[in-house]
Structure 1
């Protein structure tokens, strides 16, 4: 079984992606490869951040790896928070604070259209590849559900009535931005 490092320390993401890989690959975390430093995310695009993280791991640990960056882009606020989604309410990166701030900003707003976008950069045998996944939806007016993480309790994907936080992991992964980007990555890996 080929090893592949997911360049993150986010246990929720590791669990989510491990389930998608269904044991086809041995998924390693940053901790598994001995990388204990916080990877920089100081680029101004999702693609730039995912590339920066994957490149760092490849260059410093010589391990096949991939990294992602995800942003929630809300129409009514010109695509924000976007690349700053995790830090929308400040450097503490609090999901609750971020959701509360977004709900406050959108209070009274009729246009609640939004999309989640994930960019994945893969470094495989010294070659770089990029994959993108997008899911459109709307922002709920209040928290709904207790599964998932990030903005999941307020994001309702297009064609559904439940938020991501009300869905089972299998339901969410089948339609999510990360799930769509990961399916592209997995299809690519299966062709190698």
Structure 2
């Protein structure tokens, strides 16, 4: 029997790796996967752009350059877009978090009635043949005062429309994965990995 091939997920975030492994694990209807997920914490430059696909593709191309061709690899990039700000902070949300913190991000929307937002995860996967595939998941919601644990990015200030008024941080992981933008994007990747040769 052929040993499962390794697919590299470029992340240094242990929480993210755990969540992704959970989403990509086989369910009852899936065959045993022919791959295992490993991670590499590569330091990749981030393209300064509002086009989420372009940012993720640039990161994936850098990862391929680091790892060498023939190694299947994927990167994911997650953005938080505020309706009131025409999509900003978008991909820059992690820098806003780092420099301002959750409370000040919420305060940015205080003068405005529209608290609508969308969370977007874009995945770019490069297969062993060097072909790039893009998957994207989107979840609509609103920005609220921080509720729940603050251990996972901006989860405590984003309340999805489909969550019975819970923030991501207040939800059980398995429930969150069903409706989250990351869960949706990785469900597409999972379908691709299980049903196409990689």
Q: Answer yes or no: same fold by TM over 0.5.
A: yes
Equivalent runs, 1:1-192 vs 2, <5 Å: 1-22=4-25, 24=33, 25-31=35-41, 35=42, 38-44=43-49, 45-62=51-68, 63-88=71-96, 93=98, 97-125=100-128, 126-140=130-144, 142-146=145-149, 149-160=152-163, 161-192=165-196
Structure 1, unpaired ranges of 5+:
none
Secondary structure, in 3 states, of the residue corresponding to 2:153? coil
Q: Shift in Å at residue 148 of structure 1?
A: 5.5
TM-score by length of 2: 0.85
- Asked if the contact 1:148–1:164 (Cα under 8 Å) also holds between the matched residues in 2, the reply is no
Equivalent residue pairs, number: 181
Gaps of at least 5 residues in structure 2 are 27-32
Per-residue CA deviations over 1:90-132 (Å, capped at 9, x if unaligned) read: xxx36xx342221111114221100001111000021110000
In structure 1, what is the Cα distance between the partners aligned to 2:88 and 2:119?
11
Match of 1:88, SS? helix
Misfit runs of 4+, over 3 Å: none
Following the alignment from structure 1 to structure 2, what is the Cα–Cα distance between the partners of residues 4 and 121?
13
Separation in 1 of the partners of 2:115 and 2:108?
A: 11
Q: How much has 1:147 moved relative to structure 2?
A: 6.2
